[in-house]
Amino acid sequence: SAIGDHRFDARRADLSPEGVTATGVRLAEATSDLDDLDDAHLDVRDQVDLEVLRTRLTARLWAHDELAEQTWNPLLTVPAEAVYSLVARQTGAPDERAQALTARLGGLADHLDAVRGRLGQMPQVHVETAIAQTLGVVSLLGDPVDALLARAPARRSALDEARSQAE
């Protein structure tokens, strides 16, 4: 969604134990695949691009496996971006955005249950910030969603139901 590909707007990061494990496996496999590439035939600019990509993947893998924010950072669990990106942006058809928001909100309870089981000790500042962000998300479920529904009235029933469950 963030880079303009909206095919997956209805999805949210899977922070369940299985999802976290799968993410780690994908990062490790992608890093290994890049390490296996023979870059001798690449021009200098492509070699630099490859090294930037390799470095970013390696950093993400380290952050996933070693930093393991999913075990202590409640900010990762707040669905702020999942809601904001769909109600605030003006790109994409309102009907599609409303449908994606319905799907994201519909799985919110399961998402929060999954992440609650993973969080351990959390820094107080992160907890306070997560609470503030959550209140902001709740406010997005009011007028901004109503404005979206004014442009996608056929989605009102389903989105209103998902919205009431999320609140």
pLDDT digits (tens, 9 = 90+) for 10-67: 567 777 888 889 999 999 999 999 999 999 999 999 999 999 999 999 999 999 999 9
d(CA 24, CA 61): 7
- pTM greater than the 0.95 cutoff: no
Which is more confident, 155 or 82?
155
CB 167 within 8 A of CB 114: no
**137-163 pLDDT per residue, tens:** 889 999 999 999 999 999 999 999 998
How does pLDDT run across 100-121, given as a tens digit for each residue? 899 889 888 888 888 888 899 9
Give the type of residue at 152. Answer: A
Write the DSSP symbol of residue 75: G
Q: Which of 164, 150, 79 is nearest to 114 (CA)?
A: 79
pLDDT at 82 over 60: yes
Q: From start to end of 10-64, where are the E strands?
A: none
pLDDT at position 3: 45
Q: 């380290």: which residue's tokens?
A: 62
